[in-house]
Structure 1
Amino acid sequence: MTSKAETGAGRRGLGWRIAGWAVGTGLLLLVPLVAMRFTHEVVWTTSDFVFAGVLVFGSALTYELIASARGGLVYRGAVAAAIGTAFLLIWANGAVGLIGSERENANLLYGVVLAVAVIGALIARFRPAGMARALFATAFAQAVVPLAALGLGLGSMALIWTQETLVVSGGFVALWLLAAGLFLAAARTPTPAG
């Protein structure tokens, strides 16, 4: 028995889902565009719209390409949790910065966290058990970055910065661990044949 993906029906469905994500991204970007007409609190530049569009659509496309390659609700949830965490990390770091302000060069250290996730995922070939290990390593990298920044004297060293950064980073560690746990559960879940 062949699956929908093997017959090409799944691929046509994937195309429609990707088109839906593109439309959804466009509609989502209308929110700040309309808000700019009514308030001076929202001030986006063209580069802000491009960044947001690429980040939203890129995240959705990545989810579709990874999750559609493998079945299982738990696996899809794990992929969504991992990509969602990466999305939030990039968005928060770009918008306000996690170490001091968004202009602090120390925030570039969070690129290491994302690199660990991406390289780990590629090494694991997106298999659930390997993804779990990759995301445990990512959680560790997430925990180390603010400590390394503090140890190296990067960013503003105010006490409030240190406390806020450690709390927020701890939240991201928890999200990475949640995704890793979901991948572990997916690895233990038998996949239906055919």
Structure 2
Amino acid sequence: MFYSDAVRVHGDKAMAGNTENKGGQRGSRWRRAVWGTAAFILLLPLLAMQFTGEVAWGPADFAIFGAMLFAACGTYEMAARMTGNTAYRAAVGVALAASFILVWMNLAVGIIGSEDNPANLMYGGVLAVGIGGAILARFQPHGMARALAGTALAQALVAVIAGWGYTLILTGFFVALWLTSARLFQKAAREQSLAGAAP
């Protein structure tokens, strides 16, 4: 009796260890995929420069782009370490992608007119709404969903102020990304509530 219980306990520990190892391997693969994708994206302009004169990046361009990629990937990895909830991780990924594209477009060509147009600074306010809302929500999924919905509203307000003619398609694109992130955070909040209610 004692021997069979010991074997069962040892088997349970081994299974738990295998599950943890598999989770760690999955996380490691995801990290490699995220950082590998970032490295590939950073190399794309260099490759494009070999085939066309339209892309002419200098060291400063690569430094800024690389710093932005590093910040986005580092933030995602921190979020991934905080929780194993897939919906939460996906929500963070979508929000970071939207932020990255918004900042890069503003720096590269500008969204409202050219990159020198001071009206483009309003998009800094859009990001401030999202970041401020996330801090107030303490990065909890339910509050994050509200913060991203507010970010979508701020994005639409910038378009209204600037005039829809300039930014209609791009505004729709970014609003869709912010709302997708908000819905994923809502899903993460529901899953968190169900897990908390489980006996």
CA distance, structure 2, for counterparts of residue 44 and residue 191 of structure 1? 49
CA distance, structure 1, for counterparts of residue 149 and residue 34 of structure 2? 29
- Partner in structure 1 of residue 169 of structure 2: 167
Residue 34 of structure 1 deviates from its aligned partner by: 3.1
CA distance, structure 2, for counterparts of residue 176 and residue 16 of structure 1? 27
Corresponding letter in the other structure for 2:181: A
- Partner in structure 1 of residue 107 of structure 2: 94
Corresponding letter in the other structure for 1:84: A
Change (3 A) 1:175 1:34: closer
Do residues 71 (structure 1) and 84 (structure 2) align? yes
Corresponding letter in the other structure for 1:96: V
- What aligned pairs does 1:95-114 form with structure 2 within 5 A after superposition? 95-114=108-127
- What aligned pairs does 1:1-194 form with structure 2 within 5 A after superposition? 24-150=37-163, 162-189=164-191, 190-191=194-195
* Greater mean alpha carbon deviation, residues 174-183 or residues 163-172: 163-172
Aligned length: 177
Residue 123 of structure 1 deviates from its aligned partner by: 1.0
Tell me if structure 2 keeps the 8 A contact 1:116–1:137.
yes
Corresponding letter in the other structure for 2:113: G
Corresponding letter in the other structure for 2:178: W
Tell me how large the CA RMSD over aligned residues is. 2.8
| Percent of residue pairs bearing the same amino acid type | 46
Change (3 A) 1:58 1:16: farther
Residue 35 of structure 1 deviates from its aligned partner by: 2.6
Change (3 A) 1:28 1:172: closer
Gaps of 5+ in 1: 151-161
Change (3 A) 1:185 1:108: same
SS in 2 for 1:38: coil
Corresponding letter in the other structure for 1:126: F
Change (3 A) 1:16 1:72: closer
SS in 1 for 2:182: helix
Residue 99 of structure 1 deviates from its aligned partner by: 0.7
Corresponding letter in the other structure for 1:119: G
Tell me if structure 1 keeps the 8 A contact 2:38–2:73.
no
Residue 19 of structure 1 deviates from its aligned partner by: 7.4
* Greater mean alpha carbon deviation, residues 27-36 or residues 138-147: 27-36
User: What is the TM-score normalised by the length of structure 1?
Assistant: 0.78
